[in-house]
Chain A
C-alpha cells in the first residue's frame, strides 16, 4: 500500500533522513520508534507531502508524490506533533471547516460524522469551547478527530500520546487499536512499551537510518538474545578467569571490558534469555578464592 524507496532528506548540511526504504501493507499498524531527533517526524512529513524529499520515491496506492499530492492527501489523515490547530476557533467550527475542505458537503452526513467522532474521541462536552482554552490532551483528541474526519484509509500520527496523562494515553492507544483493525496506521513514538503494546510492526530509526524493521514479536525475541551479564572479579588474572567461565559453557560469548576499578577484571557475557547463568557462574566462582564485586544482568534493546 505504501512503498518508500531510498528516501533522503537534507536540511542544508544536516541529513535528517538517510536512505530509508520500507513497504507498509494494508491494515498494518507500524510504529516508528527512535530517540528525539532521529528523523521520525521528518519521515512522516515527507509521507504526508508536507516536506519534499531530497531524493527517493514515495508511492501510495499507485499514486506518486509529489505529482498526485492532492489525491494522496485526501487518502491520508494526519495528526502533526502537538496538534497545531487554529486557536481562536470553536471545536465545532473547526471540525466543520475541516469537513468542508475534505469534501463532506452534505449537512446531514457532516452531522452524523461529528456524532461518531465525538463518541470515538470523547469530544461531546467540549464542542462549544474555543480551541485555545483546551488542555493538551483535549487538543490532541480534536486533532485525532480532524485526522479521522473522512474515515481515511491511512492514518499518520506523529507522537499522538506525547504530553498526555496515563489515562489519556491508554484511551488513545485503545482508539488506535480499534481503528487499526481496518486501517493502515503509521505512528511515531519514543516510548518502547507503547510501540510494543500497539504495533504489529516496529521500525527503529536512529540518526536518520532504519536500524531494525520487523514484527513486534520477532523484535522482542531478538531483544531477549541481547541479554548481558556484567561480571567483575577481584584477585584473579584475566586469562584464568576467562578459562573458568568457558568451562561452564564453551559457546558463551565472553568479552573482556575495561574494569570499573583498577585492580578488577571485568567481563560482559552474552547469552540467551532462556537460561539464567548467574547461579552457574556463582557456584563455579565459589569453588575458588576470588571475590565477586559485580554480577548483574541487563537486557539491551
Chain B
C-alpha cells in the first residue's frame, strides 16, 4: 500500500517536474486529495469489516474497552499509518533543494494540510468500514464519500446559486488548498476537525446500533 502510494505520487511529482522545469511541490500537493481519496479507503477498509468477518470483533468487544476507545484507537492507527506514508515524500523537497530553492511556507503548510486531510479521510474510511462486513463494499463507500468531498468545489457550476457558498464550504479541496498555500486559517482547521468529529461520532452510533 505504501509503495503504491509512493509510486503514484512520485509519478505525479516527477512527470511534470522536468517538463515545466518548475522547482516546486505544487503539483504534488494539488493532486494529493484525489490520491488520498483512493488510497485512504484502501487503508481503512479492513478496520471493522475484517474484524466482523473473522469474528475477532466479538473478542474486541468483550475486552474491557469502551466503544469510544475502539473507534478512537482505530482512527489514530489509520491516521498514523497514512502519515507514515507521507514521510518518504519529504525526499521531494530535499531533492528540489539540490537544484533550486524551496519556499518553506508552502511545503510546511502543504504537509500540515496533508495531515489534516489524511485524518479527515481516515475518519470517513473508518465510518464506511463500520457499516459493512465486506471490505470491498467498505472501500467503495469510503472512496465515494472521499471523492465527492474532493471534487465538490469543481461541481459548483451545476449547483443553484443560493447554495454555492455552502457547497464550497463542504468541499474539502478548497480548505486543503488554503492550508497548503501556507495560509493557516482557523476556519479551515475547524472544517477538518468537524469532519473528523462527525464521522467518528457516526461510527460510534453505528457500533451502538449494531450491538
Q: Which residues of A contact B (CB under 8 A)?
A: 45, 48-52, 69-71, 73-74, 76, 78, 80, 82, 84-87, 98, 101-103, 146
Contact = CB atoms under 8 A, between A and B. Distances in A.
Interface in B54-100: 54-56, 58-59, 61-66
B211 interface: yes
B133 to A, nearest CB: 13
Nearest to A66: B211
Contacts of A71: 64
B55 A49 contact: no
A146 B54 CA distance: 17
A80 B62 CA distance: 10
A52 B64 contact: no
A74 B64 contact: yes
Contacts of A86: 56
Contacts of B64: 70-71, 73-74, 101-103
A84 B55 contact: yes
Nearest 3 interchain pairs by C-beta = A84-B55, A74-B64, A73-B64
A71 B56 CA distance: 21
B63 A80 contact: no
Contact of B55 (A80, A98, A102): A80
5 contacts: A48-B62, A69-B66, A80-B62, A84-B59, A146-B59
A80 B65 contact: no
Contact of A80 (B58, B66, B211): B58
A73 B63 contact: yes
A126 B110 CA distance: 47
Interface in B195-211: 211
Given A51-B211, A52-B211, A70 B56 contact: no
B64 to A, nearest CB: 4
A50 B55 contact: no
A101 B66 CA distance: 11
Residue from A51, A74, A86, A103 with most neighbouring chain B CB atoms (10 Å): A86
A49 B58 CA distance: 10
A45 B56 CA distance: 13
B62 A76 contact: yes
A78 B62 contact: yes
Contacts of A82: 55
A212 to B, nearest CB: 28
Contacts of B62: 48-50, 73, 76, 78, 80
A80 B59 contact: yes
A87 B211 CA distance: 24
B10 to A, nearest CB: 28
A80 B211 CA distance: 16
B132 to A, nearest CB: 18
Given A84-B58, A85-B59, 12 more contacts: A49-B62, A52-B211, A70-B65, A70-B66, A71-B64, A80-B59, A80-B62, A84-B54, A84-B59, A98-B63, A101-B64, A103-B64
Contacts of B59: 78, 80, 84-85, 146
A70 B66 CA distance: 7
A50 B58 contact: yes
Residue from A69, A82, A84, A87 with most neighbouring chain B CB atoms (10 Å): A84
A45 B55 contact: no
A73 to B, nearest CB: 4
Nearest to B57: A84
B166 to A, nearest CB: 38
A237 B59 CA distance: 63
A74 to B, nearest CB: 4
B68 to A, nearest CB: 11
A71 B63 CA distance: 10
B63 A84 contact: no
Nearest to B54: A84
Nearest to A156: B62
Contacts of A78: 59, 62
A240 B88 CA distance: 97
Contacts of B63: 73, 98, 101-102
A50 B56 contact: no
A249 B87 CA distance: 91
Nearest to B55: A84
A101 B65 contact: yes
Contacts of B56: 84-86
B47 to A, nearest CB: 13
Interface in B158-211: 211
B61 A49 contact: yes
B73 to A, nearest CB: 10
Given A51-B211, A52-B211, A87 B65 contact: no
A57 B52 CA distance: 26
Residue from B61, B64, B66 with most neighbouring chain A CB atoms (10 Å): B64
